[in-house]
Amino acid sequence: MTGAPEHGIPEPGAPEPGAPEPGASEPGAPEIRGIPLAAALAAWTAAAPAAERACDLPVPELLRRFHPDHRPGGMVTLQAGPSAGAACPAELAVLLLSDSLLDDIDIAGAPIRDADVLVLGGGGAGCVAALTAARAGARVLLATKLRMGDGNTVMAEGGIQAAIGAEDSLQRHFEDTLRAGHFAADRALVAALVGDGPDCIRWLIREGMGFDLGDDRQRMGGTLLRKMPGGATAARLLSYRDFTGLEMMRALREAVLLTPGITVLDRHPALELLTDDRGRCGGAVLQDLGQGRLVLVRAGATLLATGGAGRLHLAGFPTSNHYGATADGLVLAHRAGARLREMDSFQFHPTGIAWPPHLEGALVSEAARAAGARLVNGRGERFVAELAPRDVVAAAMLRELAEGRGVRHDGGTGLFLDTPSLEREQPGILGKRLLTLSHLAHRAGFDPAREPFLVRPTLHYQNGGVVIDPAGRTTLPGLLAAGEVTGGLHGRNRMMGNALLELVAFGRRAGAAAAADARAERPRNLGLNHLAGWRRGLLAAGIGLGRKGPMLFPPYGHVTAEGLLGHAA
C-alpha cells in the first residue's frame, strides 16, 4: 500500500507480532486501543477462514451500549416548530432551529419561473418523480443542487429488493422490513413499498436498466439473479454487479433528458419554500450558482427529493454520502410547517473504509458480505453474523473496537473484511461480480485477493425524515416528498436494497400525486409568508435568529450558503 508495507505480507524489519507500531504511543497522543496490524494479520492468517462466533449480547443491549444513536449526550429535544418535543441529533437540531437565509427584500425583483410541478433534487427519487409527473401531462421543472445524478443513488452498490421469487412473497418482504426497523415503521408505507416492488423492477427494465442474470440464462432465456440481503428471510436482492445505483441512475438520467415536458436547472439549490396566505406551499426560492442570483419558481405542487444528512458527520463519523447531503430538505420542510419523524435514528453502514485515510468512509458494498466475505477482529475471530441487520452488525463492530479487539494501524483502528478467503472459495468473484470493490482496493494500493480490507462503520443513511402518506403527500398542503428525505418507511433501521426500491416506488407515487395536485387551484399571494410565524416561535423558545440555514455545503468546503448571499458567515 502507498506509504506503508502491504498489510498482507509484512516486510523485513516490520514489528514482531504484538509489538507496538511506531508512533502509536507518542507523548501527548490519545491512546488508541487495538491489536497492532502485524499481530492481527498473523492471527487472521492462522484462522482464515475464521469460524463463526455468536454475539453474546442480546440485540437490545448491544444497540443501547454501542450504536451511535444512543451515545450519551448525542440527542437533544427540538424546542420549536411542528415537531417540537421530538429527539434529534444535536448537530442536526442546530439547522432545524435555524433562521432563514432570506428576507422579503432579498426576493424583490427576482426573476420568476412557472411550472406545474417543481421537483427539488436530481437524484433517483427526483428523476423518477419528474418522469412520472411529466408523463401524466405536467410541466415539470427539476432543480438540482449540483448536477442531475450527483447524489447518493449512484453510490448504492448492493442492489434493490423486490419479492419476485417463487419461494418469496409480499408478506415476507413486509414482515422482514418491519422486523429490521424494530416495528417502528408506518405499516401503510411498508405495504405500499413491497406491493409496488415487482412492478418497479418491470418499470426499470422498460426504462433500460440492466440486471444480473442467473446461471440458467442460456436455458431459460434470462432469469434475474437473486441474492440474500442482510436481515431477509428470502433471496430477493437484484443487482447489476456491485454498482446497481450507478446503472439505475444512468437509465433514469437518459430517460429524463429524452422526456418532453421536463426542464432541468443544474446548480440551483433551494434556499426557502414559497407559501401563500393560507399556508400552502407553492414553489421555492432557488439560488442560481452560475449567475449568482435568486430565482423564484411558482408551482402547483412542490416535491422534495433532496436526500439525507450524512455530511453533518454525526458523532464525528466519516460518511459515505455525496458532498451535498446537508439536510436541506428537512430544514426547509420543518420551517414551513411539515412534520418530521424518527429524526433520532440514523444508519451506520458496517463496512466503510478505515484505511487509507484519503478513502475513509467510502463503502465496501454489502454485496461482498452477501457473497460470503467475513468480518474478523484483531484476534482472527468472527464476532457477528455478517448478514444480520445493519444496525446490529455496526454495533457489534463498534463493540469490538471499543473493547480493544480491533486492528490498530497508522493512527486509527478498524476490522478486517476477509476478501482473500472469499476469492479462494469462489475463484474470480472479485474480478467478475465485485468490480467496484476491486477498484476501491486498487485506489487504496493493495490486492483484495491477497489482503483483507480494513473497515469500520460509516454514517450512511437517514432513517427518519418528513412525514408522508402513501401518495407522498406531507402534512404541509402543496408539498410532497420522496426518497431519503422522508420518514416512516424504514422505522429505526433500513434493510439494504429497500432504499433503491423506495426511490422508485415513492418517486412514482409522489410524481403521480404531484401531477394531479397541480391541476387543482393554484396557490395565491406567494412569498415568504411562513417566516414571520417561524421567527416568533424561535424567539418564544428562547432561540436567537443568528444561526442561518440551510447549510447547502459542508463547512470544510470553499463556499457556504451565507457566503453566496453576502451574509456574514
Beta strand 87-89 pairing with 99-100: unpaired
If residue 125 lies in a helix (H) or strand (E), which one and from where to where?
Answer: helix 124-135
187 as an active site residue: the answer is no
Cα→Cα distances 234→134, 166, 276, 476, Å: 36, 10, 48, 38
Cα→Cα distances 249→245, 385, 390, Å: 6, 31, 24
C-alpha cell at 307: 436526500
* Alpha-carbon span 476 to 428, nearest angstrom: 52
DSSP 508: H
Secondary structure in 3-state letters for 160-206: EECCCCCCCCHHHHHHHHHHHCCCCCCHHHHHHHHHHHHHHHHHHHH
Confirm if 175 and 345 have CB atoms less than 8 A apart: no
Beta strand 479-481 pairing with 407-409: unpaired
Cis preceding linkage at 357, omega within 30: no
Query: What value does the CA radius of gyration of the chain take, rounded to a whole number of Å?
Result: 24
* Alpha-carbon span 317 to 361, nearest angstrom: 8
Catalytic hit among 253, 280, 311, 390:
390
Cα→Cα distances 218→157, 221, 224, Å: 26, 6, 12
Beta strand 453-462 pairing with 412-418: antiparallel
Residues known to be catalytic: 390
